[in-house]
Chain A
Amino acid sequence: QSVLTQPPSASGTPGQRVTISCSGSSSNIGNDYVHWYQQLPGTAPKLLIYRNNQRPSGVPDRFSGSKSGTSASLAISGLRPEDETDYYCAAWDDSLSGWVFGGGTKLTVL
């Protein structure tokens, strides 16, 4: 059971906008930044969004993040077939003194 809660699946059609939620608590999301990772099959997670809403260089501006209270969201606009993969949220947990993750959301592009 993951500390952060994500929906197991999400879907959309090409060109559509989809959002993926991530729910936590006051000891993690409520007290620190949220980061998002994209994981392609057979590869390590890749940083997609850091500090709630910042994009590393090379990440398209179709990807955006937001945070409010103990929840956060990842939005993907202009959905493309290559966006079909797994997405994870992560945050530092002060109570656990460690990194915690969401269970992952598998995005399907219909």
Chain B
Amino acid sequence: QVQLQQSGPGLVKPSQTLSLTCAISGDSVSSKSAAWNWIRQSPSRGLEWLGRTYYRSKWHNGYAVSVKSRITITPDTSKNQFSLQLNSVTPEDTAVYYCARSEQWLNNWGQGTLVTVSS
């Protein structure tokens, strides 16, 4: 059974970088059938897909247009995890952030991390 365990700070200052990690058990970040996603949820924006990374003979990334200039999702094969970095955050980036595994649907989710952007 796949489990995703998130870690990272819950408070980030404006203009700084939000960094979260998602540790995978029960599957491999290098899986050739799965993709590894970051999604956030806030009252104002609802559920919002941010991006994904996946391996199909080589690594691929895909990002939402809304954050494309500020986001990086990176796999770490040595630790079987993947990470989110979101640069230049503003209070609008305050949300619960989830990591999620997908094949043909989003079938496994992390526990969620509330990230507040505030000075």
B111 close to A (CB within 8 Å): yes
Neighbouring B residues of A97 by C-beta, 8 Å? 62
Among A58-103, those with CB < 8 Å from B are 88, 90, 96-103
Neighbouring A residues of B64 by C-beta, 8 Å? 96, 98
B112 close to A (CB within 8 Å): yes
Neighbouring B residues of A15 by C-beta, 8 Å? none
Query: A56 CA to B65 CA in the complex, in Å?
Result: 32
Is the CB–CB distance between A98 and B107 below 8 Å?
no
Is the CB–CB distance between A35 and B105 below 8 Å?
yes
- Which of B13-21, B26-34, B45-53, B77-85 is found at the contact surface with chain A? B45-53
Name which residue of chain B comes closest to A44, CB basis: B109
With A96-B64, A96-B65, A97-B62 known as contacts, the answer to whether A47 contacts B49 (CB < 8 A) is no
Is the CB–CB distance between A98 and B49 below 8 Å?
yes
Is the CB–CB distance between B104 and A103 below 8 Å?
no
Among A1-53, those with CB < 8 Å from B are 2, 33, 35, 37, 43-47, 50-51
With A33-B105, A35-B106 known as contacts, the answer to whether A44 contacts B112 (CB < 8 A) is yes
Name which residue of chain B comes closest to A88, CB basis: B47
A/B interface sample: 12 pairs, CB < 8 A: A35-B106, A37-B106, A44-B98, A44-B109, A45-B47, A45-B109, A46-B109, A50-B107, A99-B37, A99-B106, A102-B46, A104-B47
